[in-house]
Amino acid sequence: EVQLVESGGGSVQAGGSLKLSCVSSGFPFDQACMGWFRQATGKDREELATIYIGGGDSRYADSVKGRFTISADKSTKTVYLLMDSLKPEDSYWYYCGLAGFSASSCYPGTDFVRQGQGTQVTVSS
């Protein structure tokens, strides 16, 4: 069974940083395309970043490029999202997702086949 468990959310002041974690199990992590997206209640999701675990290739949405960094630890099957220079408009629920096992389709905007329960981020001004 695929499981994705996010953690690391919380409250931070504008300009601060948070590092989200997503521990995964139940699938071949080394071959996976993993990503992060965020969503507010009733709003469309915004896909932020993806990483193909096998090659380490990462891609970002323009809205977070230069501020957010996605990374992965194969030994712990964990995907991270380091968020720097946070702004109040970054306040969302953040979700980790599994987007299949293809490097060619591993980019923000791809379909996630599984997601975690989310972790909430609140940025105050």
Please give the chain's pLDDT, 125 residues, in tens: 999 999 999 999 999 999 999 999 999 999 999 999 999 888 899 999 999 999 889 999 999 999 999 999 999 999 999 999 999 999 999 999 999 999 998 999 999 999 999 999 999 99
* Side-chain-facing half-sphere of 17: CA atoms under 13 Å: 9
Confirm if 52 and 106 have CB atoms less than 8 A apart. yes
